[in-house]
């Protein structure tokens, strides 16, 4: 009987702790954007061409390797380039590891964008190949 009570209490504590901590992805959805995996992005790209992929790294990083179809818009200039975007269009933000793109996602959500996603793990997590050594207009 004691073992059953202990297991019940342990299960109850686990459930309560999960409720208190919550799911990290749910918090980001509540923040107005969501993290997606490389596999999810690949599926989206294979099924739709209406996705805008924005790489928020610096030009030298983008040139070293970026996801085909992504456009370069450095995070440091987000206030200017974000004004050019459709606030309802699906936007996937990309960086090296997912941190700068998460910052950009929060910024876009704060500006009223409604369909913002962050590539979890950035280009480091992208197993489908990168485009390298591309001349970037205006990056000289």
Q: pLDDT tens, 96-126?
A: 999 999 999 999 999 999 999 999 999 999 9
Write down the residue that tokens 């504590």 correspond to.
13
Percent over 90 (pLDDT), the chain: 69
pLDDT, one tens digit per residue, over 48-75 is 879 999 999 999 999 999 999 999 999 9
95 assigned to active site? yes
Q: Is the CATH number 3.40.50.800 carried by domain 24-125?
A: no
Please state the rounded mean pLDDT for residues 21-41.
71
pLDDT of residue 9: 67
* Helix segments in the chain, DSSP class H: 2-21, 24-30, 38-47, 59-64, 78-81, 99-110
pLDDT at 11 over 70: no
Q: Point out the catalytic residue in the list 56, 91, 92, 95.
A: 95
Q: What is the pTM of this model?
A: 0.75
- Domain spans in the chain, listed from the N-terminal domain onward: 24-125
pLDDT of residue 91: 98
Environment class of 81 (CB within 10 Å of its CB; exposed 0-12, middle 13-18, buried 19+): middle
């Amino acid at each position: 009987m004691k073992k059953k009570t202990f297991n019940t209490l342990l299960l109850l504590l686990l459930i309560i702790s999960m409720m208190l901590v919550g799911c990290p992805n749910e918090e980001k959805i509540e923040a107005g954007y969501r993290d997606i995996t490389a596999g999810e992005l690949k599926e989206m790209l294979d099924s739709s061409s209406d996705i805008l992929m924005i790489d928020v790294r610096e030009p030298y990083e983008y040139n070293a390797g970026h996801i085909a179809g992504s456009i370069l818009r450095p995070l440091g200039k987000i206030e200017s380039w974000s004004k050019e975007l459709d606030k309802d269009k699906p936007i996937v933000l990309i960086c090296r590891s997912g941190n700068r793109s998460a910052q950009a996602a929060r910024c876009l959500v704060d500006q009223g964008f409604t369909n913002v996603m962050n590539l979890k793990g950035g280009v480091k997590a992208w197993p489908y190949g990168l485009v390298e050594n591309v001349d970037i207009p205006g990056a000289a």
